């Protein structure tokens, strides 16, 4: 019976391939992303990477998003349809051979309840946060969302912890990083005692824990520096906290930087800290840091262990003393740092864009095979 089902799936893919060849057209993929450029984040970046990558595989891609147009229009090599009307959305889904939700966008899902199309979903963020307290109404809402996600033919997650967050068979395909921007430039100018934080300055990112850990290192490690790259609502408070802890000559706040400058900053330092208070679903910044030849020290929860790799060092989440202890050991052992930096680059090489794109395109093809079965059907 199993062999018959497998044969049926393969036959379905063959029929789709024959149909496309007969019509002399490429595979049509509707890539649905609730957020997209000019918004900035992991979903937005991966949507663009995957759309371009699918095109390299010969597919025709249309991105559908709820994000409105920016004043300064960026040109993409594929169609971007923003806030489509219900009829337009229905027509776009009907035209597609495969619908791919790059993170579930429930507000754009409803046409799939009317038109049966091969449907693939990737989880890039929590549906509900671990430990999150929900009202009765919220529980009902999220139960419905989980049920809808369970109807996907193929479900992918970017980390093991997200895969375990839902029921059923889930393939893990880690995020990539933007390898056109992040790489090792020249180790000659790298500060062996240089520490960097790269990311948003918000309470959930835990940068205050890093500042407290840095304060613990004063008098223990001579000559270390801390560079904070990023901006956000917590910046003024963090600058005040650094001054109050006597770190005025140790900590520099550089604000937001583009990827090229961020890579140059990483290349001038040796250690990157990711002190997140919340369990990150993945943590692409760990890959960017590794690609630039930095040792990553991360809060050991969520998807960060997957992103950071075995050569990185995890500290107890929310514990600045644990963080400062690991930093002290690293900064006192340059040979260990050098060995971990070499392994970090090798780790990043396994997560280049083409690796992620090829695995996702294979999952798209598997979606054609699984179509009509659904994970929870």
Q: What's the pLDDT score for residue 10?
A: 47
Q: What's the pLDDT score for residue 72?
A: 63
For tokens 């659904």, the residue is 374
Domains and CATH numbers, the chain: 2-176+353-370 (3.40.50.2000), 187-349 (3.40.50.2000)
**pTM confidence score:** 0.86
Contacts of 254 (CB under 8 A, 6+ apart): 227, 228, 229, 265
DSSP line for 219-273? TTSTT-EEEEE---TTHHHHHHHHHHTT-TTTEEEEE---HHHHHHHHHT-SEEE
Cα atoms in the 13 Å half-sphere on the side-chain side of 89: 20
Bridge partners for 79 per DSSP: 62
Q: What's the pLDDT score for residue 18?
A: 53
Q: What distance in Å separates the CA atoms of residue 254 and residue 241, rounded to the nearest whole number?
A: 16
CA 69 to chain centre: 23
Kind plus residue range of the DSSP H or E element containing 303: none
The candidate with the shortest Cα–Cα distance to 269, out of 287, 247, 252, 294, is 294
Average pLDDT, 10 consecutive residues per value, the chain (377 residues) = 46 51 80 91 90 97 92 85 96 97 94 95 88 81 86 94 90 94 88 95 96 95 95 96 93 95 97 96 95 97 95 97 97 94 96 96 93 52
Contacts of 116 (CB under 8 A, 6+ apart): 371, 372
Q: What's the pLDDT score for residue 373?
A: 47
């Amino acid at each position: 019976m199993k062999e018959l089902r497998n044969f049926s799936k393969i036959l379905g893919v063959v029929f789709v391939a024959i149909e496309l060849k007969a019509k002399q057209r490429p595979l049509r993929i509707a890539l649905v992303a609730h957020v997209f450029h000019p918004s900035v984040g992991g979903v937005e970046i991966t949507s663009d990477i995957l759309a371009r990558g699918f095109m390299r595989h010969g597919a025709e891609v249309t991105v559908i998003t709820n994000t409105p147009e920016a004043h300064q229009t960026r040109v993409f090599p594929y169609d971007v349809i923003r806030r489509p009307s219900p009829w337009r959305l229905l027509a776009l889904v009907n035209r597609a051979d495969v619908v791919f939700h790059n993170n579930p966008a429930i507000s754009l899902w409803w046409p799939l309840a009317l038109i049966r199309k091969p449907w693939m979903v990737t989880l890039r963020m929590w549906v509900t946060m671990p430990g999150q307290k929900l009202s009765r109404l919220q529980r009902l809402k999220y139960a419905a969302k989980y049920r809808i996600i369970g109807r996907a033919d193929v479900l992918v997650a970017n980390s093991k912890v997200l895969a375990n967050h839902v029921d059923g068979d889930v393939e893990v395909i880690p995020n990539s990083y933007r390898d056109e921007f992040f790489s090792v430039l020249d180790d000659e100018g790298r500060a062996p005692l240089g520490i960097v934080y790269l990311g948003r300055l918000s309470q959930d990112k835990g940068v205050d824990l890093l500042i407290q850990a840095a304060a613990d290192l004063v008098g223990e490690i001579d000559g270390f520096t801390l560079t904070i790259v990023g901006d956000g609502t917590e910046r003024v408070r963090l600058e005040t906290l650094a001054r109050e802890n006597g770190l005025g000559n140790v900590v520099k706040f550089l604000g937001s930087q583009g990827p090229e400058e961020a890579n140059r900053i990483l290349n001038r330092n040796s250690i990157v800290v990711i002190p997140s208070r919340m369990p990150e679903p993945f943590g692409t910044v760990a890959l960017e840091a590794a690609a630039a030849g930095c040792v990553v020290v991360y809060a050991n929860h969520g998807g960060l262990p997957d992103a950071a790799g075995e050569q990185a060092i995890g500290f107890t989440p929310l514990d600045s003393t644990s963080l400062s202890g690991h930093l002290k050991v690293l900064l006192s052992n340059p040979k260990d740092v050098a060995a971990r930096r070499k392994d970090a680059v090798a780790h990043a090489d396994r997560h280049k864009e083409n690796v992620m794109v090829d695995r996702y395109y294979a999952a798209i093809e598997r979606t054609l095979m699984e179509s009509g079965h659904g994970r929870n059907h």
